[in-house]
Structure 1
Amino acid sequence: MTETAAPGTTHEPRVVVVTGANRGIGRSIAERFVAAGEKVATIYRSGDLPAGVLGAVADMRDSAAVDAAFAEIEAELGPVQVLVANAGITKDTLLMRMSDEDFAEVLDVNLTGTFRCVRRVTKGMVRARYGRIVLISSVVGLYGSPGQVNYAASKSALVGMARSVTRELGSRGITCNVVAPGYIDTAMTAALPEATQDKYKAAIPAGRFAQPEEVAAAVEFVASESASYISGAVIPVDGGLGMGH
């Protein structure tokens, strides 16, 4: 009789969905799961994808489209066992200039879009009595940032979501955690004036920006079997900037 390996071991690749894997942190996370031998897919809007990642196109603001994208992925790879909710947008402007639309659209993508994904995958996870959910927040959600009232609100709300999911579904073998990156060394930060970069780095105890791979490593850990007793936690990857707030 052949013994079946537990989900998440090296013997049985899991189905992992990383939303927004076409660029930035999401891309690095997807690449890391591919390298680990997992079956990786993404829901995204446009752009090229890393090698080995199955893509399904959908807008996070459209519940029917999100559900259809997950159905497409499941038909190809099987039930989703790991969700990394990473897709997000910014519409930065000072509070007094921020329109209702600026506020609502950021929350619809970053917060409600995440809810749509979590709601969809947990149905299968409950049946399987196994699941790993990782919500990508930001140090801004806990630390605050001028000009980002909408973004900070959307990212801080993910903490309450993760802890509520943990209380609802923790007994079903499902964990839900938050990873909160700080400033990341990307094309966007590289384009900042050197004086601005130096100012940001001076506020970070580590004295540097993170590499996207460092965020991906934290995500991989909390989605692993080694982290099966960690749920409802916020894991900062910010070089000490937010000090866990």
Structure 2
Amino acid sequence: MRKIVLLTGIMGGFGKKILDTFIKDNYFVIGTYAKNARKAKELVGRYTSKNLEIYQMDQRNLENVSRVTQKIILDYPVIDVLILNAGITRDSFIFNMTENNWSEVIDTNLLGAIQVAKNIFPVMRRNKFGRIIIMSSVSGVYGREGQVNYSLSKGGLIGLSQLLGSMVDLNEDIIVNTLAPGMIKTEMLDMSNQKNVNQFLKACCAKRVGDTSDVAELTRFLASKSNCYSQNTLFQIDGGFMKC
């Protein structure tokens, strides 16, 4: 039987690569996106209805998140894999951040993700199987002065992963892990300050930015039944950032 994966943030750099990787592995992917329905339809056009279905969901709006995830559960009572990937940045120095800078990032990256997990986790417990992969960031591990809101939201996701993992009973084959990518070649990196990129490269053993395939391949393993012993683990995909 085909496994079903729910992937939030399907339109971003990570989302598109993870989508492609999982469809090639014969998963059925349920994807969510926040806006730009035209581009979402273009993305769907690359696949078939046998491989992919998408739902529009604004993670800044918890009522909308709850309504959409409940609709997904009605349509797909068994969800094998949950990948909490949706996220945005609104970078600025802490004293220059507006209230909107804070609320948009915290609501989207953290509170929206918690709401999705709150609805999907009981489904996995009922089915006694699931793989949950939460996309954090090295910014959530080490913190960055120019993106305190983003660092806070991503650090909170690490806490969410630890909480969910600790709630799993012995008779439930549910594994929860967190990924913390460093600088990966995506549209988000293209918007980064070159000074920040150079600082990352200086502190990175690999001396290069990562590729979305690096993230997608590890996500694929963590979603598989072969991953049965890495509960509550934080995987850094950062080229050895801060280790040299």
TM-score (norm 2): 0.87
Residue range with higher mean Cα deviation, 109-118 or 98-107: 98-107
* 1:174 alignment partner in structure 2: 174
Contact 1:180 1:234 in 2 (8 A): yes
Structure 2: 5+ residue stretches without partners? none
* 1:84 alignment partner in structure 2: 83
Q: Among 10, 17, 21, which residue is 1:21 paired with?
A: 10
* 1:159 alignment partner in structure 2: 158
CA spacing shift, 1:93–1:132, aligned 2, 3 Å: same
Shift of 1:53: 2.6
* 1:115 alignment partner in structure 2: 114
Q: Report Cα offsets for 1:175-213 as digits up to 9, x if no partner.
A: 111001000112443566877644432221101111101
- For residues 185-224 of structure 1, the aligned pairs below 5 Å read 185-190=185-190, 197-224=197-224
Task: Determine the C-alpha separation between the residues in 1 that align with 2:28 and 2:71.
Answer: 14
Task: Provide the identity percentage.
Answer: 30
TM-score (norm 1): 0.87
* 2:233 alignment partner in structure 1: 233
Shift of 1:101: 3.0
The secondary structure found in structure 2 opposite 1:91 is coil
Q: Report Cα offsets for 1:106-164 as digits up to 9, x if no partner.
A: 11111111101101111211110111111100011112212111100110111111111
Task: Determine the C-alpha separation between the residues in 2 that align with 1:93 and 1:29.
Answer: 29
Task: Determine the C-alpha separation between the residues in 2 that align with 1:163 and 1:107.
Answer: 19
Residue range with higher mean Cα deviation, 199-208 or 172-181: 199-208
Shift of 1:228: 1.6
Task: Determine the C-alpha separation between the residues in 1 that align with 2:120 and 2:195.
Answer: 44
Shift of 1:38: 0.4
Residue range with higher mean Cα deviation, 56-65 or 217-226: 56-65
The secondary structure found in structure 1 opposite 2:2 is coil
Task: Determine the C-alpha separation between the residues in 2 that align with 1:177 and 1:196.
Answer: 28
* 2:24 alignment partner in structure 1: 35
Structure 1: 5+ residue stretches without partners? 1-11
Contact 1:142 1:242 in 2 (8 A): no
Give the total of aligned pairs.
232
* 1:184 alignment partner in structure 2: 184
Contact 2:105 2:149 in 1 (8 A): yes
Task: Determine the C-alpha separation between the residues in 2 that align with 1:122 and 1:193.
Answer: 37
The secondary structure found in structure 2 opposite 1:101 is helix
